[in-house]
Amino acid sequence: MKRLHLPLLILILSGIALGIFYHKAVNLGFPLLPAQQTDNWVVEARVSFEPTGGAVTARFFIPENPPGMALLEEHFISRGYGLTTTPTGPNREAVWTTRWPSGPQAVYYRATVYPLEQPRADQAPYPGPVAQPELEEPYRSAAEEVVQKVRERSADITSFATVLVRDMNHPADENMQLFVSATDSDREKVRTAIQLLAGARIPARMAHGIQLTDRGNDLQPETWLEVHNTRSWVAIDPDDGTVGYPDDFLVWWRGDTPPVRLDRARDAQVRFSVAHNYQNAVEVARQKADLLDSRMADFSLLELPVQTQNMYRVLLLVPLGAMIIVLLRNVVGLQTFGTFMPVLIALSFRETSLLGGIILFSLIVSLGLAIRFYLEKLKLLLVPRLASVVIVVILLMLALSILSHNLGIEHGLTVALFPMVILAMTIERMSIVWEEHGPADTLRQGIGSLAVAAVCYLVMINPYIDHLFFVFPELLLIVLALTLLLGRYTGYRLTELVRFRAFGGGER
């Protein structure tokens, strides 16, 4: 019985996993492959706030007829709240109200959107020329100068706005410099542009939206400028004056107001997250499950909030990485720093791309190692020294980011995505191995760690594996079974065949 225990356990685990997998894939029709064309997006906004006592009203702008996009469906997720949606000015507003809130509150707005093949002809009534703003000197004459100069170089309203925005980004004369400064945020730029456009009696407004990227969490709304060319509103990029919104851009609200306004509450926070929508194929499967009265689909990850879903897409791949580490350490015999550190490095490679990640990682670690050896000279105690290494690592990351930004290398910015405690621990471990076992061992373990991390990364970014584990999380049981099986492997490691090669020599 004792000998059969593990094989039985492995069999049971794989049996359960394969059973559920088969049922979901064949009977319920969950898709085995990632959808070929996923041009649907699920966008979620999480609005959180802190009630200050009494009945709370939270007003939140929600998209309406966003240019180039169509809203498929909307969900409002809030417990114990009354909800109405009302148009206010150019926007639509969701109003949540509750009488007795307690503790921090969070409400969700979730929408499915898809990009339109043919943009709608957005006819908007011309609001008429706007009144010129009342400016004081010297701004008044400066504004007139600016308008005059821009008008000379433009043909119509749209090109007027484009030229104006370009001038604002590269102010050539002192008239323009009165209005703009290099540190202006997009929001301030748009505000100034609206004022200057008003000087030319052109109606303009501010628009806010988010760029849709797969698995985007904590997205920041971007601010755009819209001008009315007497037929419709035209979008202008406040950074370079380009006309029109980019692809996959969802305009959320308009006007120079924050997206959330609260009564009797404070600390409003909005977090936008986006994911490619897999629900279409899965939706069919779920409806089928309802018909078959199967509880299976109720336990799907797709029921969770999008932000949590995005997190699990990553988390679900960590066990796979752990199994690969077992394989590479116990069967191949690679040496690594720390047992599961390579998985964490691999996770950060997801953000930095492989080559850039490896280069940055090696750079930071070797620089940190040099500094660590210098700190050794100062004869510090272990914990303060480790803390100093952490501080220096942060400074190095900062320096690298700034340097590479100035050189125009995008990759340098992603260095911040490395978990810096991991970097500091790596440096500390490396330096100890260096001192005790010499540079050769350090290099071997360092290369081993990077190689393992690279392998983990390559497996983890595979879209098929990603999709399979997300839609069929029960496959983790198979990973568990395989890991248990590897736990009983007592054969030689590949590296031992090299290590013990002297035994082969005596044979002939």
Partner 1 sequence: MSRWFVRPSTLRRRGVMGLNRRNAQLIAPLNPRRYYPLVDDKLRTKELALEAGIAVPELYGVIATNHDIRHLPRLLARREDFVIKPAHGSGGNGILVVTGRMQNRFRRGSGRLMDLEALGHHVSNILSGMHSLGGQPDRAMIEYRVRFDPLFDPISYEGVPDIRTLVYKGYPIMAMVRLPTRDSDGKANLHQGAVGTGIDLSSGVTTRGVWHNRIVDQHPDTGHPITGLQIPGWERLLVLAARCFELTGMGYLGVDLVLDRDHGPLMLELNARPGLAVQLANDEGLEHRVRAIDALPPRKVPPETRAQQAMDRFHAAARPPA
- Which positions lie near partner 1, rule CB under 8 A? 330, 333, 379, 381-383, 432, 436-438, 441, 488-493, 496-508
DSSP conformational letter for 23:
I
DSSP conformational letter for 303:
G
Q: Are 362 and 400 in contact (CB under 8 A)?
A: no
Among residues 39 and 496, whose Cβ is nearest to partner 1?
496
The three-state secondary structure class of 97 is strand
Least distance to partner 1, CB of residue 422, Å: 16
Least distance to partner 1, CB of residue 508, Å: 8
DSSP conformational letter for 243:
B
Helix 382-406 with 420-460: angle, nearest 10 deg: 60
Least distance to partner 1, CB of residue 338, Å: 12
Among residues 2 and 295, whose Cβ is nearest to partner 1?
2
In the numeric block, the tokens 């400074």 are attached to 395
Q: Are 225 and 206 in contact (CB under 8 A)?
A: yes
Among residues 11 and 432, whose Cβ is nearest to partner 1?
432
Structure tokens at 148: 């005059």
Rounded-to-integer distance, Cα 75 and Cα 109, Å = 6
Least distance to partner 1, CB of residue 300, Å: 39
Among residues 79 and 501, whose Cβ is nearest to partner 1?
501
Among residues 137 and 436, whose Cβ is nearest to partner 1?
436
Among residues 6 and 359, whose Cβ is nearest to partner 1?
6
Helix 475-486 with 318-326: angle, nearest 10 deg: 20
The amino acid that residue 497 corresponds to is: L
Least distance to partner 1, CB of residue 339, Å: 12
In the numeric block, the tokens 């008044």 are attached to 140
Structure tokens at 480: 């568990």
Among residues 57 and 495, whose Cβ is nearest to partner 1?
495
Least distance to partner 1, CB of residue 114, Å: 53
Q: Exposed, middle or buried, 490 (CB in 10 Å: 0-12/13-18/19+)?
A: exposed
Rounded-to-integer distance, Cα 435 and Cα 230, Å = 74
Among residues 381 and 407, whose Cβ is nearest to partner 1?
381
Structure tokens at 94: 């969701």
Rounded-to-integer distance, Cα 254 and Cα 148, Å = 28
Least distance to partner 1, CB of residue 405, Å: 37
Least distance to partner 1, CB of residue 491, Å: 6
